Amino acid sequence: MEGNNAEQKAANTLKLWREYSNNRSLEIRDALIENYLPLVKLVAGRVAVSLPQHVDKDDLISNGFFGLIEAIERYDCDRGVKFETYAVVRIRGSILDSLRAQDWIPATIRQKARQYEQTVAKLEHTLGRSVKDEEIAAAMKIPLNELYALINHLNASTLIPLEEFARTETASQHTPNPSQHIEEQEVKDMLAKSIDKLPEKERFVVSLYYYEGLTLKEISLILKLSEARISQLHTKAIFRLRGALSRLKSSFV
C-alpha cells in the first residue's frame, strides 16, 4: 500500500514538473515549493548541527527557502538529474551565503583557525604524515588541553562543505581561463588523496558526513562515541584537508 502511495506521489510530482516546464505557472511553482519544503528543513537542520546555539534555525530555513525557489526556477527535468540532488546544493548554498553575510564567526576565532590550519599544514608537509595532537600543541606552544579547547571552538568554522571549499581554492585566486578546469580537477584529485591519508576515524567521519549524508549525531551512534567527539574528529579532518588544499593552491600562483 505504501509503495503504491509513493509511486502515485512521484507520478503527481512529475506531472507538476511537466506542466511547470510548459507554462511556468506561479500556481504550479507554489505547488512544487510546498512539495519540497521538507527538503529545506532537512538541509537547514543538517547545517544547524555545526553552528553555535545562538544561530536561529528558523532563519536558516527562511534563507534555504530562497535557494529552493532558485532551484525550481533553474531545474531542467529533461536532464535526468534528480531534483533533490540539484536542490540540496542550491538550498545549502543560500544558507551559507546568508551566514557569511552576517559574519557570525568572531575575528578571534577566525585568527586562531588560520593559525591552527597553518601549523597543521606545515607539520604534515615536513613530516609527510598525519600529525599528532601532541605535536601540534608543541608547535603552537600551548598545553594539550588548550589545543582541545581550541578545536572545540573551531567546530563552527568548518561549516563550508568540502566540495565548495575545493572550488574556492581555485576560483578565489584566478580569473576564468582555459587552465581553470584542469586546476579544479587537480584540486578534486588532491582532496580525494588527502581524505585517503586521514587517520582512520577522521576518514570515516568525513566519508559518512559528506558522502553518505549522515548527521554528526547519527555518526556518533555508529562509532559509539559522543557527538562532541565526532564533531572534534570532523574539525580536525577538515583542517588537515584545508592545509593540503592550501599547499596545492600555492603551486598555482
Query: Which domains are seen in the chain, by residue range?
Result: 2-102 (1.10.1740.10), 107-252 (1.20.140)
Give tens-digit pLDDT for 172-188: 344 444 454 555 566 66
Residue whose C-alpha cell reads 527538503 in the numeric block: 39
Burial zone of 49 (CB within 10 Å; 0-12 exposed, 13-18 middle, 19+ buried): middle
Q: Which range has the top average pLDDT, 37-41, 172-176, 241-245? A: 37-41
Joined together, the cell numbers standing for residue 39 give: 527538503
Q: Which range has the top average pLDDT, 31-45, 92-106, 213-227, 228-242? A: 31-45
Angstrom distances, CA of residue 221 to CA of 48, 54, 97, 134, 202: 19, 25, 31, 27, 15
Look at residue 51 and tell me whether its pLDDT is greater than 90: no
What is the predicted pLDDT for the residue at 173?
40
AA identity, residue 211 = Y
Please tell me the pTM assigned to this model. Answer: 0.56
